[in-house]
Amino acid sequence: MATQLELARQGIVSPEMAAVAERENLDSEAVRREVACGRMIIPANRMHLAKGLRPMGIGLACTCKVNANIGNSAVIGDIEGELLKLRTALRYGADTVMDLSTGGDLDRIRQAIIDASPVPIGTVPIYQAVQRLQGHIEEMTPQMLLELCEQQARQGVDYFTLHAGVLREYLPLVMRRVTGIVSRGGALVARWMLAHRQQNPIYTHFDDFCAIMRQYDVAWSLGDGLRPGSIADASDAAQFAELETIGQLARRARQQGCQVMVEGPGHIPLDQVAMNVQRALETCDEAPFYVLGPLVTDIAPGYDHITSAIGAAVAGWAGAALLCYVTPKEHLGLPGLEDVKQGLIAYKIAAHAADLARHRPGARQRDDALSRARYAFDWEEQFRLSLDPETARAMHDETLPDEYFKTAPFCSMCGPKFCSMRLSEQIRKSLAEDAAELGGPAPASAEKAAPPVCEDSAVPAQAARALGP
């Protein structure tokens, strides 16, 4: 069977492409063109589609998407706990989910997650190899990793993160880094190469991995195993050497009919974020760019969902297509349910901010609707339109819990006498009365004075190219 990429190149609009077009408010032919040229992917393993996967697109022409990482460790976690994380991630808007489990019965955990998930699921197959070998990565054979990929593809995994661009000759470039290799997958590949004094087996067997992934239409997520793990290491020679190889491999995978996205850096100062995104898009022929954060400072353990969401918003504005969330527990421990929620809320804000900045069609409608509700003191509508209605309601009710205050024209911040919007409405009415007395034009009504609906006609050049003539 043909992959989404192959179908698109044949001029065929698949049901999955049509579903993405409807979801994104795009023309189905525009989606087909984007998939055909590799600027958009639809991660949709045939096995997962049969179990109720809802197709979604990742690319410049789409809204900015958010991935949530879940998964246990060798120290803590079970199937029900991971399913609770999955449900939490879905509740707060995750567009894709990665199972990064490294402990317990990985096959059962993964299958349970796939069966319960209507969104694409990604994995890092080398983690299971390490677990199977009880940490002795040097005992892994290329055939073992290929077999694990085949097994996970049969289960329905929609995309694999494989660190094919970490080459043996690049390892000396990390010697002067402050934080060395921070990618688990990248470090495992490096350890294997040093133990065997051989080249990266994912790189040398790349075509074999492509054959497996093409069979099930599993998308490549070409992992950035040499990504910087600190501001001090950002944009260094190791990072960009790997990126060049990833660009070559992205083209090679596409030639074999595989869908591809490219992973990006983890710690980058704010002034280098846009440059990194643009360089990745140019190097990899505009393959969808998938960024972890990036974190724009290293000084806030416990708040890295914030330090990274700042970078994620800028990355999305610059052209990143998928943002991998970071939770408050990044660098500190295994995330729990509340960490998943906090990470997702931060990243849904970042993704939406990026959509607004890129003038994506319809992006501002929700903002404008909430602004109108705020001006009208329609508290229930404000709660409904917010990213986290329960928290918004709880914060309001903390000081004004009575039902009367759900329609009151003030909140506890300003009270009934000092609300600027209430005063503004009184000013408008006074001006209207004065205008009527003088026979002049009346000022705009409260409804008309609310922020106008954005027509989103200013489509940036990249998006214009993506949508075609």
The answer to whether 222 touches 246, Cβ cutoff 8 Å, is yes
Q: Give dist(CA 388, CA 93) in Å, integer.
A: 10
DSSP 19-80: HHHHHHT--HHHHHHHHHHTSEE----HHHHTTT-----EETTSPPEEEEEE---SSS--HH
Q: What is the largest CA-CA distance in the chain?
A: 91
Q: How far is CA 450 from CA 6, 371, 410, 420, in A?
A: 48, 7, 18, 14
Would you call 326 exposed, middle or buried from its count of C-beta atoms within 10 A (0-12, 13-18, 19+)?
A: buried
Span 232-250, pLDDT tens digits? 999 999 999 999 999 999 9
Instruction: For residues 359 and 462, give the distance between their C-alpha atoms in angstroms, rounded to a whole number.
Output: 11
Give me the pLDDT at residue 404, please: 66
Cross-strand bridge partners of residue 291: 264, 323
pLDDT, position 464: 38
Helix (H, G, I), strand (E, B) or coil at 336: coil
The pLDDT value given to residue 451: 43
For helices 337-357 and 79-91, what crossing angle results, to 10°?
30
| Domain 44-52+62-361 is found in CATH 3.40.50.12780 | no
> What stretches in the chain show pLDDT beneath 50?
446-469
User: Within 10 A of 23 (CB to CB), how many other CB atoms are there?
Assistant: 15
Q: How many CB atoms lie within 10 A of CB 208?
A: 16
Contact between residue 60 and residue 40 where contact means Cβ atoms under 8 Å apart = yes
State the pLDDT at residue 368.
Answer: 97
Residue 298, C-beta contacts closer than 8 angstroms, at least 6 positions apart: 230, 231, 267, 307
**Is the Cβ–Cβ distance between 178 and 298 less than 8 Å?**
no
DSSP 169: G
Q: Which two tokens stand for residue 389?
A: 């209605």
User: How do residues 379-404 score in pLDDT, each as one tens digit?
Assistant: 999 999 999 999 999 999 988 887 76
CA pair distance 432, 77, nearest whole angstrom: 64
Q: Is 180 left (phi over 0), alpha (psi -120 to 50) or beta?
A: left
Which pLDDT does position 122 carry in this prediction?
98
Nearest to 59 by CA among 219, 227, 265: 219
Give pLDDT, residue 180: 97
Write down the domain spans for the chain: 44-52+62-361, 365-449
Report which residue type is found at 451: P
Q: Residue 275 phi/psi, 5° resolution?
A: -60, -45
Extended beta strands in 239-335, E state: 260-264, 289-292, 322-324
Residue 142 to residue 146: CA distance in whole angstroms: 6
**Cα 302 to Cα 228: distance, rounded to the nearest angstrom:** 20
Q: What is the pTM of this model?
A: 0.90
pLDDT, residue 448, reads: 45
Residue carrying the six token digits 């958009």? 40
Report d(CA 336, CA 127) in Å as an integer: 20
